[in-house]
Amino acid sequence: MANGVFHTGYRITVELTQPDLGHPDRPELLAEITQPIDKRERELLQCLEHHERGVCQAEEDDRSPWMAIRRRTIDGTTTLVAAHLPVRHHPTAEESDKHKAMKERIVKAAERRGLSARPEARTSDGKVCSDVLVTGPAGPIGWEAQYSPITAGTIRRRSQAAADHGILPLWVTNSQRAALIDRAPWARVDDLPWQMIASSRSMLVRAGVRHLQRWKCMPHSERPCPVKGSACGRLHAQWDLPALCIPEQPHTQVDHLVASTANGEHVPMRIPSQRDPRSVSRMWVPAEDRTEWQNIVGPEEELPSDETPPDSELVFTEAPLDSTCRYGEETMVFNDRRTRRDTTDATGLHTFDHVPQRLLRTPHQIHCLDITTPQRQAAAALHGCQPWDIGPCAGCGTPIHRYGSGSAHACPACRHRWGRRR
């Protein structure tokens, strides 16, 4: 991306790498160009290459030549970057039909399950209008059927407004590239024609709902080690899509999600991303999985902000002005093209050297299994496992199937005894 923009009001070139933006006589310039789009003229800032040549690469990707200036922090360094604004979009007839059909489906699904559902529901002050407001024991869920493009800023603003009024937003989209993914509670469905959305056929949630998976990383484990690739002997816990769970979990249907979110059976989660600790992943998860996750990882971590702090100290590299538009190239600029936002990657990986004591149903005791080879073979025959899978019960020390597939850490009697004491 060019490291400058053309200011159509002053008819000047703004150099984003210079401390004075190339205009020491205009100390107010930084505050002017970094204003939110809704507080200034949309066509105030123009792509430099488009200004000079009349065309730029971004226009091939349905972006406008008009620019926004934002802060971006990489490795602790905050700089100014320019980003192309999208072409203003008006929903097509097809998008409007899908939007209407999804709203009708949500209303019908809620009413069939005895829940209150109000389409185009406005708050008393008129500041929030949900496509469908579904109310159940867990509180109001504001469903937003989003079949046309929308900006990240609009998503955050509307979601925060809903939350301020006690409404939990739930955005549903049919696009893997939708800006709403991971910026608000969301779910993705198949891109179906409106007739199928309005029909009684099943409609699955393809992304946005995950299940907790935890396992001891041993050579016989069905999963590869997410850390080393080979067995590391530690405990792993992470969130997976239903089809990637072991055993595989059924996909959640949209109609069921309407009821389960309002009833509190599915709850929202927001956890740090594995690859970038500054970003987060959002998902809907079974309530019991969230409870188990909290037992595993302990107290909830303080999550990083979604946005770069407004008071981050800016760094100006003083690089020479470059007017070339490189929109979409594989660089570290603000608006690198990303083909999709939701992925199949596991989320929220946590690894422990030892199983947290709070998860054990029996007290941690050190037992040594002192038995002869014939006794070990007899125990293996009794439990239906290999002799090397025999080990001491964590509770009483008796020989049990302690290791390998289908093993347990304690005998049935100890598990029953300690289970009753919880």
Q: Assess contact for 86 and 62: CB atoms under 8 A.
A: yes
* Residues in Cβ contact with 357 at an 8 Å cutoff, skipping those fewer than 6 apart: 364
Is 8 inside any structural domain?
A: yes
Q: What is the pLDDT of residues 200-242, one digit of tens each?
A: 999 999 999 999 999 989 888 888 899 888 889 888 999 999 9
- Smallest CA-to-CA distance from 284 within 307, 305, 306, 263 is with 263
Contacts 24+ apart (CB under 8 A), 306-313: 306/156, 306/183, 306/279, 306/280, 308/71, 308/72, 308/73, 308/78, 310/71, 312/71, 312/73, 312/78, 313/78
pLDDT at 411 over 50: yes
Q: What is the DSSP letter of 101?
A: H
Is 117 inside any structural domain?
A: yes
Is 236 inside any structural domain?
A: no
Report the range of poorest mean pLDDT among 82-86, 92-96, 264-268, 297-301. Answer: 297-301
Element (H, E) at 348: strand 347-352
Element (H, E) at 413: helix 412-421
Helix/strand number for the chain, H first, E second: 9, 18
Tell whether 148 and 99 lie within a shared domain.
yes
Element (H, E) at 391: strand 390-392
Q: Tell me the torsion sign for CA atoms 97, 98, 101, 107.
A: negative
E strand segments, 158-256: 168-173, 186-189, 205-207, 211-216, 235-240
Tell whether 137 and 200 lie within a shared domain.
yes
Alpha-carbon distance of 228 to 274, in angstroms, equals 15
Alpha-carbon distance of 221 to 218, in angstroms, equals 5
Tell whether 150 and 122 lie within a shared domain.
yes
Tell whether 155 and 255 lie within a shared domain.
yes
Residue 40: predicted pLDDT? 87
Q: 415 burial class (0-12, 13-18, 19+ CB within 10 angstroms)?
A: middle
Alpha-carbon distance of 309 to 117, in angstroms, equals 38
Q: Assess contact for 298 and 359: CB atoms under 8 A.
A: no
Is 317 inside any structural domain?
A: yes
Is 291 inside any structural domain?
A: no
E strand segments, 126-201: 129-136, 139-146, 168-173, 186-189
Q: Tell me the torsion sign for CA atoms 166, 259, 257, 91.
A: negative
Q: b/e per residue, 204-225, with b = 16+ CB within 10 A?
A: bbbbbbbbbbbebbeeeeeeeb
Tell whether 59 and 104 lie within a shared domain.
no
Total domain count, the chain:
3
Residue 73: predicted pLDDT? 75
- Bridge partners of 209, per DSSP, are 284
Both tokens assigned to 23:
């205009």
Q: What is the pLDDT of residues 346-371, one digit of tens each?
A: 888 888 876 665 555 555 555 678 89
Is 69 inside any structural domain?
A: yes
pLDDT at 191 over 70: yes
Alpha-carbon distance of 173 to 149, in angstroms, equals 10
| Mean pLDDT, range 122-130, rounded to an integer | 92
Residue with the larger pLDDT of the pair 60 and 78: 78
pLDDT at 61 over 80: no
| Mean pLDDT, range 130-157, rounded to an integer | 91
Tell whether 117 and 31 lie within a shared domain.
no
The one-letter amino acid code at 153 reads: G
Alpha-carbon distance of 12 to 356, in angstroms, equals 61
Tell whether 335 and 399 lie within a shared domain.
no
Tell whether 135 and 202 lie within a shared domain.
yes
Both tokens assigned to 357:
């004591």
> Residues in the chain, how many?
422
Residue 412: predicted pLDDT? 87
Q: Assess contact for 407 and 383: CB atoms under 8 A.
A: no
CATH number for the domain spanning 114: value is 3.40.1350
Q: Assess contact for 154 and 171: CB atoms under 8 A.
A: no
Alpha-carbon distance of 202 to 338, in angstroms, equals 30
- Smallest CA-to-CA distance from 183 within 332, 103, 283 is with 283
Backbone φ and ψ for 77, nearest 5 degrees, come out as -105, 125
Tell whether 39 and 187 lie within a shared domain.
no
pLDDT at 30 over 90: yes
Q: What is the DSSP letter of 191?
A: -
Tell whether 80 and 130 lie within a shared domain.
no
Tell whether 62 and 126 lie within a shared domain.
no
Q: Assess contact for 255 and 203: CB atoms under 8 A.
A: yes
pLDDT band at 105 (very low <50, low <70, confident <90, very high): very high
Is 287 inside any structural domain?
A: no
| Mean pLDDT, range 123-145, rounded to an integer | 95
Alpha-carbon distance of 393 to 75, in angstroms, equals 49
SS3 345: coil
Q: 365 burial class (0-12, 13-18, 19+ CB within 10 angstroms)?
A: exposed
pLDDT band at 334 (very low <50, low <70, confident <90, very high): very low
Domain of residue 5 covers 1-88+313-343
Say which residue the tokens 């109310």 belong to. 135
Q: What is the pLDDT of residues 145-187, one digit of tens each?
A: 999 878 777 898 899 999 999 999 999 999 998 889 998 999 9
Calculate the average pLDDT of the chain: 85
Tell whether 84 and 95 lie within a shared domain.
no
Is 18 inside any structural domain?
A: yes
Residue 357: predicted pLDDT? 58
